[in-house]
Structure 1
């Protein structure tokens, strides 16, 4: 408790947030991901997701994890900020790889601590003055964030499908409540999948090239904002652009295991990280603002939307409740049909 005043006094020095795509880009990835989900899932119980009002809500909720950075609160920044990235090069410095990191968040944190003890001085060295949220010691938790939000969506889908199977009109408020929970889960999952598709969220070179730079790539911080927003505006990219790219050149996405999406998520991060240097080359020769740049950014957006749809499909198809699941739900739900609210009598 003694450290809390110091913690909040330092909150003003929390590092500036790192965004991937702007809100427009995240919404576009979400809307296209929902469309592809609808194409792959014919279940009538899922049809509401693609209805205009719901898809707009879900797309807007996909911007929420970035909005959580609108206050400089170390408690929120500590748990939220590292979920948006994974700096792969920092793993190498600690003797780790994408294939060897622990899938579970707290196991990964322990693994990182042990790796730092085994490699003194390796990786980023936190500056306490500018690290009030205590996040600089971590390379990021992006794959964990994707898998955790996938599991939340899977759970919410199962609750909805259980309620639909019970088929009790008196439970309509429960159904509406879980639909709202699903919208939140779909939006959050979309956000982090979208972050994964932005190569600069997989590298320490997220705001310009750092360290050894034999190819003289730009070191300007502006490159991140250029990718997130400026290129989308310059090339007039939108949902239609993503749809056209998916139709013309569907990305070869690894289908996630519904029970364990981790391997597919790691492959997605590998795919994105492989585009870091090609992205810097586009910026260096000016092609980022010409046709090759438009193709590159559209491909990344389409890749994100396609993988998102696969995760949505896997979560839905693996969430069908058994009869035992339904019985257990009814037993422990403690549902009592709500009584109508009556107005107090007036004199």
Structure 2
């Protein structure tokens, strides 16, 4: 508990700091900035009650990373994949399953199919080295809808809104973390910690690139909400399926991967005054904040509508999409 309290206090400081300090990865300074900027950008017809909880949300922005310590094995095994989406690993899989469990099973089948012919690829064809980030994000998003319905119900009945609001704030922390991770291109590739495999452009294979970009450089420039707020833009009218929207968001982020490596090759992120690296950090953080803001607003709009009746239940074997291997029908 002491470690979590210290981490929360540090994150609060970093969220408003304007001078470089020591931090630990995108998950401290940039995550706090992304969350705070997203909530500040919520329009007046959105879930503005989250503004009352913005300090708690920003201070806790790195909470999911604290669940990944080697000492807490069960938590680490469950949480680690939620922070990545190594899309080169599952080009064989189209469309992407709308079930976390079906995705994991598909990976295992692929592993069995290639383990003898291509053991090197097979060794990383598993849930840890492919990631489950879009599932974690949409799961948090849908729990937010449920919490927001409870906020609306409490308001309508004249009840206490504090508890459902706090529940929403907690889910916003989770959603914000996963979306923040997804906005960082190194979270959306097998090249997350140095270039892997064929390397015709001579990009670094140094594993420290991840931390040098998202932590050391971000801290050196003292990233603040003021840096990205003008870049967030007006709320987007995000229609359609949210899972598909998150997948598209991740693809866009992954398409910026080589830009990270090209800039690293120039000076290794050693120059805090490098305007091109600054521009990339500002762009990626602003994109993350915009996506988070839009998902929070979309969840609030959806919470105004009673939940749809699904019949038969996804857990009912008579459901035409029921998968006996997972015990459920996909979403």
Question: Shorter-chain TM-score: what band?
Answer: 0.7 to 0.9
SS for the counterpart of 1:208 is coil
Alpha-carbon contact 1:152-1:185 (below 8 Å) kept: yes
Which of the numbers 150, 164, 189 marks the counterpart of 1:159? 150
Distance in 1 of aligned mates of 2:206 and 2:235: 33
Cα distance change, pair 61–237 in 1 and its aligned pair in 2 (3 A): closer
Match of 1:309 among 279, 282, 293: 293
TM-score, length of structure 1 as denominator length: 0.74
**Cα deviation digits, residues 291-339 of structure 1 (max 9, x gap):** 10100111000000000001000000110155999xxxxxxxxxxxxxx
Question: Which blocks of at least 5 consecutive residues in structure 2 are unaligned?
Answer: 1-23, 310-331
Q: Does 1:181 find its partner at 2:186? A: no
Q: Do 1:33 and 1:309's aligned partners in 2 also have CA atoms closer than 8 Å?
A: yes
Cα RMSD after superposing both structures: 2.6
Matches within 5 A, 1:128-139: 136=128, 138-139=129-130
**What are the ranges of 5 or more consecutive residues in structure 1 without an aligned counterpart?**
1-18, 128-133, 326-347
Query: What is the number of equivalent residue pairs in this alignment?
Result: 280
Q: TM-score, normalised by structure 2?
A: 0.78
What CA distance in whole angstroms lies between the structure 2 residues aligned with 1:294 and 1:251? 22
Which stretches of structure 1, 4 residues or longer, exceed 6 Å deviation after superposition? Answer: 251-254
C-alpha contact (below 8 Å) 1:287/1:293 kept by paired residues:
no
Residue 69 of structure 2 contacts residue 76 of structure 2 at CA under 8 Å; is this kept in 1?
no
Structure with larger Rg: 1
Secondary structure of the residue that 1:318 maps to in structure 2? helix
* 1:39-50 equivalence runs, <5 A: 39=43, 41-42=44-45, 46-50=47-51
Q: Is the 8 A contact 2:124 2:130 kept in 1?
A: no
2:244 maps to 1:263: yes
Measured after TM superposition, the shift of residue 251 of structure 1 is 9.1
- Helix, strand or coil for the counterpart of 1:68? helix
Q: Which residue of 1 aligns with 2:315?
A: none
CA contact (8 A) 2:194 2:205 kept: yes
Q: 1:253 Cα deviation (Å)?
A: 6.4
CA gap of 1:256–1:190, structure 2 versus 1, over 3 A, is: farther
Cα distance, 1:178–1:254 mapped onto 2, change above 3 Å: closer
Kindly report which structure 2 residues correspond to 1:40-189, keeping only aligned pairs within 5 A, or say none.
41-42=44-45, 46-51=47-52, 54-92=53-91, 95-96=92-93, 100-120=95-115, 121=118, 123-125=121-123, 136=128, 138-167=129-158, 171-172=159-160, 175-189=161-175
